[in-house]
Amino acid sequence: MSDQVRALLDRYSKTTDEQWSDIASVFRTETIKKGEKFLSVDETSDRFAVVEEGLFKIFYVDSEGKEAIKTFRAKGGVIGAYAEFLRNIPSRLTVQALRDSKITVIQGSEMVKLFKSSAHWEKIGRRITESLYLEKEEREYQFLCLDAAARYQSFLQEFKNEVNKIPDYMVASYLGITPVYLSKLKKNS
């Protein structure tokens, strides 16, 4: 099993080597080339992954074909469509590699079995869900309560290692502003 998966899950609850060896077979490594999609709109959301190397954008597409970027995921981040998986509906979002990437994948059904197998794994599943909830709560707060300049500063802090790898038009989409306004923010910061 990958070091990134172990580091991610150990953040939520320390796991013994025996517990790790018991679950290693449910994970597999994949490579995804720049521009390829891990998940597309209307596909079944039945797998999740931890990013080992690379960078992904997670986005929606509106009725006019315009992308709205929900977030970015880099090394150690989790990709997938958890809400759609829980609701058993097709994906409403797309997960696409921005660079050549390496990921460690688990099928959703295997993840559910794992979380049901013991209190330890259930605790990890709960804490991952709590983490995703807190991230969503912070993102909503930023959109409802912060101006674009403050959201940009927050972006710079959160994605400091990826800032130079993400095109400005994607940053603007993530912030909910135009590329022209992002250019002004960059000049003023």
Give the pLDDT confidence of 43-93 residue by residue, as tens digits: 998 999 999 999 999 999 999 999 999 999 999 999 999 999 999 999 999
Question: What's the average model confidence in pLDDT over 120-130?
Answer: 93
Q: How far is CA 100 from CA 62, 97, 107, 112, in A?
A: 26, 7, 22, 29
Using CA atoms, how far apart are residues 85 and 91, in angstroms rounded to an integer?
Answer: 8
Question: What's the average model confidence in pLDDT over 19-45?
Answer: 94
Q: Is the pLDDT of residue 1 over 70?
A: no
- The pLDDT value recorded for residue 142 is 97
What is the model's pTM?
Answer: 0.92
